[in-house]
Structure 1
Amino acid sequence: MKKNRLLSLIFTCLILGMMFMPKAKAAEAAAPTGRVTTASTALNVRSGASTSAAVVASLAKDSYVRLLEKNGIWYKVEYSGGRYGYASASYITEVGSAKEATVNTSSGGLNVRTGPSTANGIKTVLAKGTAVVVLSESNGWANIVYNGTQTGYVSASYLKYNTASVSSGYAAVKLSGVPNFKQTDSRWAAVTLGTSGKSIASIGCATTALAMTESYRLGYTINPADMSKRLSYSASGSLYWPTNYVHDTGSGYLKTMYENLKKGIPTIYASTNAYGGSHFVVVTGFKGGSLAASNFIINDPGSNSRVTLDQHIAAYPNFYKLVFYR
């Protein structure tokens, strides 16, 4: 091993068959809200997640919009009651304190006012059961978002909070186009890693995970066999990571993975089992709701059945580190 290498050495992956029980799935919260943070102009809402898609609406600076999911650099938004489009995520900041609620009047509707007082004018009336997002609450009044982008004030006494969103309400994020390679695929399973004499099928989960993230980063397919030719390995078959990859061993790894997804970056998650064997998977999405392992979607190089992070953790419970590109 060369001492001057800037690449870090990772554990050898071991594929050990283990029975597992998935953890209970956390309740999912409704989509949160974002604030438009353009410099001065309005933000275009388009019919699709592309600058070539038609503009269907625009959102004023500092206005609020309901977020449905994140797809790469685009948010799917509700820009009007029941109307949806896509807006650039670069100009939207999530409101972390926003809470989902529904109108809970005993009869009749709930007045939405221009300010937090009965002296303020009525903008509209919301029917019982209408979903709203609460931005803040003070002195018995809630500042809400309704019909996607409209804001106003209502009496907080007539709102029923969604219990999942009171604690958390993170938007769904999905990275489309991350390949789902398996290290046991016959096209590369027998490929030897460096001079180790060991194959991708036996110890190549990290190489396979890296092939997925590099394919996504570069925009073209690099299968595990081709990936192995671009890498260097120790005598035991452990790979040296490319220098543009960051290693994070911090305890806030769930939040880090979520923030990476929002930036359009898949994260390699590594953990170990009771026998010391390590395994690497790629986090490619988040279902929405609470920041729990059960809501993270993964591509597992060593399994067709493990599709969420909690299922991987059941087999490899000891967190090791995150690895992702800059």
Structure 2
Amino acid sequence: MQEIDQDVMNIRRICNTIFLLLLLLALTPKAQAASIKAGAVTTAAGSLNVRSQPTSASSVAATLKKGSYITLHSQTGQWWRVEYDKGKYGYCHSRYITQVQGTPVSVSLRSGSLNVRTGPGTGYARSASLYSGQTVLLLTTSGDWSRVLYHGTKTGWVSSRYLSGSYPAVSVTVPSFKQTDSRWADKTVGTSGKPFSQIGCATTAVAMMESARQGRTIYPDEMSRQLQYTASGDLYWPSHYTPSTNASGYLERIYQMLSKGKPVLLGMKNAGGSQHWVVVTGFQGGTALTPSAFTIHDPGTSTRTTLAQLQAVYPTFYKYFAY
């Protein structure tokens, strides 16, 4: 009996060990994927050496051009462990690497491969293929397309619908006002002689923003009496609003502001250069930051409720404000 019990105990230990090893193998790739970051080479001139070890005395495994992207895995002292080609790793001095916005996401396909293209659309040439389960770094988005960093240093565009990430839904409570509301539609904006119904989208959007910020209802006509305008009715923006004119990665930054509980005042332009202003109020959740998932309050119409619908008429990013 004693020998049998000992055998049973040994079998149990072996089974437990195998289970722990399998669990570790299952979790490790996910942990590694979550830890990767995007970097850019910021040498003053010339290229950056990739070393075989985290020391300048070790051999040079590769070189990276100034301005190129690089996948960062971990940092040891002043050295980054980097992936400089598919499955190839080395070390770069952190002095010459600047971290940039990059979100780890996974390729999610039922079958086949995902085309990587040279631009955001099917009209651009195919440059590579990715497969389900591969982890890439999302750098920026354009419409329903995402620019990704893959295989260490390569970048390209893929359809966002095939990326699986972690962007939970978020919503900010903001009242919705229309510039065509009969209570103020015919009232003059500043001293311009022009009515709200014609040029009041910016003021109406600010009224929504300030109502959310102050926690009380401020109607657009009341808001106009607190603002300043040029003679033609252009708005001088409130001093406590911080502008951004950087179009690169603006959806990511808007999402970050929404996650802090703050709406975003967004300006877009049409082909003729005309501006239109809306308030971005939330994100419906999804695998990528696509315009169709961002919700808006549009002062000009009730039929546009998503950023994608706005971009169909005003496709060009102008600037945004946050408080």
1:190 Cα shift? Answer: 1.1
Closer, same or farther: CA 285–138 of 1 in aligned 2, 3 Å = closer
Paired amino acid for 1:313: Q
Give the 5 Å matches for 1:26-105. Answer: none
Q: In the alignment, does 2:137 pair up with 1:137?
A: no
2:31 & 2:291 partners in 1: Cα distance? 36
Whether contact under 8 Å (1:270, 1:280) holds in the other structure is yes
2:30 & 2:206 partners in 1: Cα distance? 49
2:31 & 2:218 partners in 1: Cα distance? 58
2:31 & 2:191 partners in 1: Cα distance? 70
Whether contact under 8 Å (1:175, 1:285) holds in the other structure is yes
Task: String of CA shifts for 1:282-309, please: whole Å, max 9, x gaps.
Answer: 0000011111111100000001100000
Q: State the match for 1:307 in structure 2.
A: 305
Paired amino acid for 1:283: V
Give the 5 Å matches for 1:201-220. Answer: 201-220=197-216
Whether contact under 8 Å (1:168, 1:291) holds in the other structure is no
Whether contact under 8 Å (1:170, 1:288) holds in the other structure is yes
1:139 & 1:221 partners in 2: Cα distance? 46
Task: String of CA shifts for 1:69-90, please: whole Å, max 9, x gaps.
Answer: xxxxxxxxxxxxxxxxxxxxxx
Q: State the match for 1:297 in structure 2.
A: 295
2:192 to 190, 193, 196: 196
1:257 Cα shift? Answer: 0.6
Q: State the match for 1:285 in structure 2.
A: 282
1:135 Cα shift? Answer: 6.8
Q: In the alignment, does 2:10 pair up with 1:118?
A: no
1:272 & 1:208 partners in 2: Cα distance? 17
Closer, same or farther: CA 139–312 of 1 in aligned 2, 3 Å = closer
1:264 to 261, 264, 269: 261
Unaligned runs of 5+ in 2: 1-15, 35-131, 135-159
Q: In the alignment, does 2:318 pair up with 1:320?
A: yes
Closer, same or farther: CA 323–184 of 1 in aligned 2, 3 Å = same
Give the 5 Å matches for 1:4-23. Answer: none
1:265 & 1:227 partners in 2: Cα distance? 19
Closer, same or farther: CA 268–197 of 1 in aligned 2, 3 Å = same
Paired amino acid for 1:210: V
User: How many residues are matched?
Assistant: 182
Whether contact under 8 Å (1:281, 1:300) holds in the other structure is yes
Secondary structure of residue in 2 paired with 1:179: coil
1:187 & 1:287 partners in 2: Cα distance? 32
Whether contact under 8 Å (1:183, 1:208) holds in the other structure is yes
Task: String of CA shifts for 1:181-211, please: whole Å, max 9, x gaps.
Answer: 0000000111111111011110010000000
Flag the structure with larger Rg.
2
2:239 to 213, 237, 243: 243
2:302 & 2:222 partners in 1: Cα distance? 22
Task: String of CA shifts for 1:48-70, please: whole Å, max 9, x gaps.
Answer: xxxxxxxxxxxxxxxxxxxxxxx
Task: String of CA shifts for 1:227-270, please: whole Å, max 9, x gaps.
Answer: 00000100000010110001101122101110000001100110
1:231 to 227, 233, 240: 227
Closer, same or farther: CA 287–201 of 1 in aligned 2, 3 Å = same
Whether contact under 8 Å (1:215, 1:222) holds in the other structure is yes
Secondary structure of residue in 1 paired with 2:18: coil
Q: State the match for 1:107 in structure 2.
A: none
Once superposed, which parts of structure 1, at least 4 consecutive aligned residues long, lie more than 3 Å away?
160-167
Whether contact under 8 Å (1:209, 1:281) holds in the other structure is yes
1:139 Cα shift? Answer: 11
Secondary structure of residue in 1 paired with 2:300: coil
* Larger relative contact order (Cα-Cα within 8 Å, sequence gap ≥ 6): 1
Q: State the match for 2:105 in structure 1.
A: none
Closer, same or farther: CA 239–135 of 1 in aligned 2, 3 Å = farther
Paired amino acid for 1:271: M
Closer, same or farther: CA 136–188 of 1 in aligned 2, 3 Å = farther
Instruction: Provide the identity percentage.
Output: 50
Q: State the match for 1:72 in structure 2.
A: none
Closer, same or farther: CA 197–173 of 1 in aligned 2, 3 Å = same
2:201 & 2:177 partners in 1: Cα distance? 10
Q: In the alignment, does 2:169 pair up with 1:172?
A: yes
